[in-house]
C-alpha cells in the first residue's frame, strides 16, 4: 500500500481523526487476529459480531489507526480513531483513491466459471514482463475489491482482478471504484442461477462489466460461448474475441495434451504450456494472452509466465502420492465445471481405476435436482470406475448415474469424513481420484486425508 499518515487517510475518506495515530498506515486489516504493525484497522459488521468490539485488540497488535462508525464513536473512539459514517464506505473511498493515485492498467475479469484461474493466469502472463498486483484468492466483491486496490504500490503497472456477482447491479456498483481499462468475460453458464433466477439475468449482470468500460476500453470475450460473444454489442469500444473457433481474433493453431491432460497449445507460432490440466483451460490461457498483449508484454514472455503460473488452491490441483493421482477440484462446482472436470479425468492416463468423489452443487435453485442427475449421466459416460456421492442432498448424482447405465461400485455417504474413509479404504497405487463439489461441501478435507493416508505409506500395491 502507499504509505499514508492517519491525517491523510482521514482527509481521503472524509473522516475526523481523534488524537493522532502512532505512525504511517502501510496496510489494511479487517481482522484483529491478523493485524500487523502499520495497519489501518477497519471494523465491519459481521453476521455474528461487530468489528468495533476488536479495536483494542487491533491496536495491541500494532494498528496505527482505525476507522470508527460515528454511531459507535461515543463508546469506542479513542486516539487514532478516524470517525466516518460507515467504515465499509470509507474503505471503498480509500481504495478508489489509491487506484487513482497509482493509475495502473486495470484488467477486470468476470464470468460464470474460470474467473479465479483466468485471473491467476493473466497475472502470471503479464507479471513476467511488468509489475502486477492481483487480488488474493477470491477477493472479488464489494469488500475484497477495495482491499485489493489498497495493495497497489506506487510502482504497480497493472492490476488484475476478478469480480463476482450475486445479482444484477452488483458489478455496476463497483465500476466507479475500479474503473477498468480491460474487461474479460470468461464464459456465461448457469452457475449461481438459483440466485440470479434465469440465464438472461446472468447475461445482464456479467455484461455490466463490458458496458461499464470507457470508449477507450477493451472487452475480451469468449467466442465459443454465444451468450458471451454477444456481449460485444454492449461494448462501447474495441472488442477482442478468443476461442477455438477459427472466427475468433485469437485462437490456437494446435492443441496437445500429455498423460496428465496438461495442455500445450501453439499460438501465432509460439508454444504455450498451461500449468493446469483440462481442455477447458485453453480458453483461460487465450484470455490471459490477449490481456498480456494489451499490457504490452510480448508473446514469448507471456508464455514463459503462463508455464510457471501459480494458481489458487483446490482448482484442478494434481498431486501424485503413493502412486495415486489426486485431482483436487474441491473449491466450487456447477454443471459445466463438473463436466469439464470429468472430461479432464477421462483424458488422463490411468493404470488403475478412475474414482470420482462428487458432492453437492450449490446455488442452482429449481434446477438443483436436474443438474445433479445430469452430472450422474455424465459420470456414466466418462469412464469412471467407482463413484462416491457425498451427502443425501447430492443423491441425484447417484440416481442419474444409475439411470445412465453406470454399473461400477457406487456409494452414497453421509459427509466428507465418510467419503474420506470410503476412498482411503480401497484406493490402490495406479488409481486416479477426482474430488469435486461446491465449497460448502468441504471436500478439500477428503483430499487432505487421502494425501495423509498415502504419505504414511498405507496404499495398497
pLDDT for 314 equals: 81
Q: What are the DSSP calls for 59-124, one per residue?
A: HHTT-SEEEEETTTHHHH--TTEEEES-HHHHHHHHHHHHHHHH--EEEEEE-SS-HHHHHHHHHH
> What is the distance between the alpha carbons of residues 329 and 317, in angstroms, rounded to a whole number?
6
For CA atoms 293, 299, 305, 308, the dihedral sign is positive
pLDDT of residue 192: 66
From the list 372, 367, 377, 352, the residue with the least C-alpha distance to 438 is 372
Looking at the DSSP bridge assignments, the partners of residue 108 are: 161, 183
Instruction: Please name which of 329, 253, 275, 344 lies closest in space to residue 123, comparing C-alpha atoms.
Output: 275
In this structure, the chain runs to a length of 461
pLDDT at 178 over 60: yes
Identify which has the larger pLDDT, 166 or 55.
55
In 349-456, which ranges are E strands? 354-358, 386-390, 410-413, 432-436
Taking alpha carbons only, the member of 99, 119, 18, 113 closest to residue 66 is: 18
| pLDDT of 194 strictly over 80 | no
pLDDT surpasses 80 at 459: no
Mean pLDDT of 57-72: 93
Residues in contact with 70: Cβ distance below 8 Å, sequence separation at least 6, in sequence order: 83, 84, 85
Residue 58 has pLDDT above 90, yes or no: yes
**Owner of C-alpha cell 503479464:** 126
Written as one string, the DSSP assignment of 165-195 is -SSTTHHHHHHHHH--SEEEE----STTHHH
Is pLDDT at 286 greater than 90 in this prediction? Answer: yes
Residue with more model confidence, 257 or 19 = 257
Write out pLDDT tens, residues 241-254.
Answer: 999 988 899 999 99
Residue 321 main-chain phi, psi, to 5 deg? -130, 125
In this predicted model, what pLDDT tens digit does every residue of 117-135 receive, in sequence order?
999 999 999 999 999 999 9
Local structure of 127: helix, strand or coil: helix
Going by pLDDT thresholds of 50, 70 and 90, the confidence category of residue 460 is very low
Least confident span in 22-26, 148-152, 158-162, 303-307: 22-26
Phi/psi at 18 (5° precision): -100, 125
**Cross-strand pairs, 412:** 389
Sole residue written with cell 491525517 = 7
Please report which confidence band the pLDDT of residue 461 belongs to, taking 50, 70 and 90 as the band edges: very low
Grid coordinates of 242: 478468443
Mean pLDDT of 328-337: 91
- Residues 329 and 316: their CA atoms lie apart, in Å, by 5
The alpha carbon of residue 440 and the mean position of all alpha carbons in its chain are separated, in whole angstroms, by 15
> What's the CA angle centered on 272, arms 436 and 117, to 5 degrees?
30
The set of residues, in sequence order, having a beta carbon less than 8 Å from that of 107 and lying 6+ positions away, is 122, 126, 158, 159, 160, 161, 180, 181, 182, 184, 291, 294, 295
Average of per-residue pLDDT across 98-103: 98
Show Cβ contacts of residue 102 under 8 Å, excluding neighbours closer than 6 positions: 2, 152, 153, 154, 156
What H or E segment, with its residue span, contains residue 264?
strand 262-267
Is the pLDDT confidence value at 413 over 70?
A: yes
Q: Are strands 132-134 and 158-162 parallel, antiparallel or unpaired?
A: parallel
Question: What average pLDDT does the chain have?
Answer: 93
Mean local confidence (pLDDT), 440-454: 95
273 has a pLDDT exceeding 60: yes
What pLDDT score does 76 carry? 77
**Per-residue b/e over 217-227, b at no fewer than 16 CB within 10 Å?**
bbbbbbbbbeb
Cα–Cα distance for residue pair 137/116, rounded to 1 Å: 7
Amino acid at each position: 500500500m502507499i504509505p499514508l499518515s492517519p491525517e491523510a487517510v482521514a482527509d481521503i475518506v472524509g473522516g475526523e481523526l481523534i488524537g493522532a495515530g502512532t505512525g504511517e498506515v502501510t496496510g489494511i486489516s479487517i481482522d484483529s487476529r491478523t493485524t500487523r504493525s502499520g495497519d489501518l484497522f477497519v471494523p465491519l459488521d459481521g453476521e455474528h459480531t461487530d468489528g468495533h468490539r476488536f479495536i483494542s485488540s487491533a491496536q495491541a497488535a500494532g494498528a496505527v489507526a482505525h476507522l470508527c462508525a460515528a454511531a459507535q464513536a461515543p463508546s469506542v473512539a479513542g486516539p487514532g480513531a478516524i470517525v466516518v459514517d460507515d467504515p465499509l464506505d470509507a474503505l471503498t473511498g480509500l481504495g478508489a483513491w489509491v487506484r487513482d493515485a497509482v493509475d495502473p492498467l486495470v484488467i477486470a475479469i468476470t464470468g460464470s466459471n474460470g474467473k479465479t484461474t483466468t485471473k491467476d493466469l493473466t497475472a502470471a502472463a503479464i507479471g513476467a514482463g511488468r509489475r502486477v498486483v492481483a487480488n488474493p484468492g477470491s477477493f472479488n466483491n464489494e469488500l475484497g475489491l477495495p482491499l485489493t486496490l489498497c495493495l497497489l504500490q506506487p510502482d504497480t503497472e497493472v492490476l488484475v482482478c476478478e469480480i463476482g456477482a450475486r445479482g444484477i447491479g452488483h458489478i455496476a456498483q463497483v465500476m466507479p471504484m475500479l474503473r477498468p481499462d480491460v474487461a474479460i468475460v470468461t464464459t456465461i453458464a448457469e452457475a449461481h442461477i438459483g440466485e440470479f433466477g434465469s440465464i438472461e439475468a446472468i447475461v445482464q449482470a456479467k455484461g455490466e462489466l463490458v458496458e461499464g468500460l470507457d470508449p477507450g476500453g477493451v472487452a475480451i470475450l469468449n467466442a465459443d460461448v454465444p451468450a458471451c460473444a454477444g456481449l460485444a454489442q454492449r461494448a462501447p469500444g474495441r472488442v477482442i474475441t478468443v476461442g477455438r473457433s477459427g472466427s475468433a481474433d485469437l485462437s490456437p493453431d494446435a492443441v496437445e495434451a500429455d498423460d496428465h491432460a496438461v495442455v500445450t497449445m501453439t499460438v501465432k507460432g509460439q508454444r504455450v504450456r498451461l500449468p493446469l490440466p483440462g481442455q477447458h483451460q485453453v480458453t483461460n490461457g487465450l484470455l490471459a494472452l490477449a490481456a498480456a498483449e494489451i499490457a504490452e508484454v510480448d508473446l514469448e514472455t507471456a508464455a514463459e509466465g503462463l508455464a510457471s503460473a501459480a494458481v489458487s488452491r483446490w482448482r484442478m490441483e494434481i498431486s501424485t502420492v503413493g502412486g495415486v493421482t489426486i485431482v483436487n477440484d474441491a473449491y466450487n462446482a456447477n454443471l459445466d465445471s463438473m463436466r469439464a472436470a470429468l472430461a479432464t479425468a477421462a483424458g488422463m492416463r490411468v493404470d488403475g481405476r478412475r474414482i470420482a468423489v462428487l458432492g453437492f452443487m450449490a446455488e442452482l435453485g429449481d434446477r438443483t435436482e436436474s443438474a445433479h442427475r445430469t452430472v450422474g449421466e455424465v459420470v456414466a459416460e466418462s469412464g469412471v470406475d467407482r463413484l462416491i456421492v457425498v451427502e443425501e442432498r447430492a443423491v441425484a448424482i447417484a440416481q442419474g448415474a444409475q439411470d445412465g447405465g453406470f454399473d461400477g461400485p457406487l456409494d452414497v455417504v453421509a459427509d466428507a469424513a465418510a467419503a474420506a474413509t470410503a476412498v482411503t479404504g480401497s484406493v490402490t497405487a495406479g488409481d486416479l481420484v477426482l474430488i469435486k463439489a461446491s465449497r460448502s461441501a468441504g471436500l478439500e478435507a477428503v483430499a487432505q486425508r487421502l494425501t495423509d493416508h498415502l504419505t504414511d505409506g498405507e496404499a495398497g500395491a
